[in-house]
Amino acid sequence: MDVLTQEQRRLNMSRIRGRDTKPELLLRKGLHARGYRFRVNVRDLPGRPDIVFPKYRAVIQVNGCFWHGHDCHLFKMPNSRQEFWAEKIAANRLRDRRTDLALSEAGWRVLTVWECSLKGLKRRPMDDVLTCCESFLQDGSRKVAYVGST
């Protein structure tokens, strides 16, 4: 049973951002400071990638560990409405795979940065995450890559 009323839960859920999240802003700020210029949430591309680098034909997706079902310390399946959440997270994962495939087929390289690499007990130093992103952008041979906690 949920400890919040339906109205309280609705209010909480309405405040969850789909774009301009704290991890996303942190990564964008760091990349911009290193001299990278990008576009944000480009509507013309499959899945509206979080950060788009047209010059490098690359995109960076910043995924929340809960919403995208990452197997890390930040993900825990809720105890209430487990069937609903299992379906929701499975659908999100499937959509992520389809989006990555569509971007790759369109000639874009994809890097996924997981929330756990930027926050939580097992987060990586910000310089390490930015260096991984920078390496990805400079190395044009890779197609799909991931940055997560260690």
CATH number at 35 reads 3.40.960.10
What domain range is 123 assigned to? 18-147
pLDDT tens digits along 37-94: 999 999 999 999 999 999 999 999 999 998 899 988 888 988 888 999 999 999 999 9
Kindly state the tokens that stand for 109. 């390289």
Residue 24 lies in a domain: yes
Locate all alpha helices (DSSP H) within the chain, ordered by sequence. Answer: 6-14, 22-33, 82-105, 126-138
Contact, 115 vs 62, CB < 8 A? yes
Residue 110 lies in a domain: yes
The stretch 128-133 carries a mean pLDDT of: 93
HSE-up of residue 148 (Cα within 13 Å, Cβ side): 14
Q: In angstroms, rounded to a whole number, what is the distance separating the alpha carbons of residues 58 and 61?
A: 10
Closest listed residue to residue 52, CA positions, set 44, 43, 40: 40
- Secondary structure (3-state) at 124: coil
Output the pTM of the full model: 0.85
Residue 135 lies in a domain: yes
Residue 65 lies in a domain: yes
Residue 11 lies in a domain: no
Indicate the number of domains in the chain. 1
Residue 120 lies in a domain: yes
Angle (deg, nearest 10), helices 126-138 and 22-33 = 70
Q: In angstroms, rounded to a whole number, what is the distance separating the alpha carbons of residues 75 and 63?
A: 12
Residue 7 lies in a domain: no
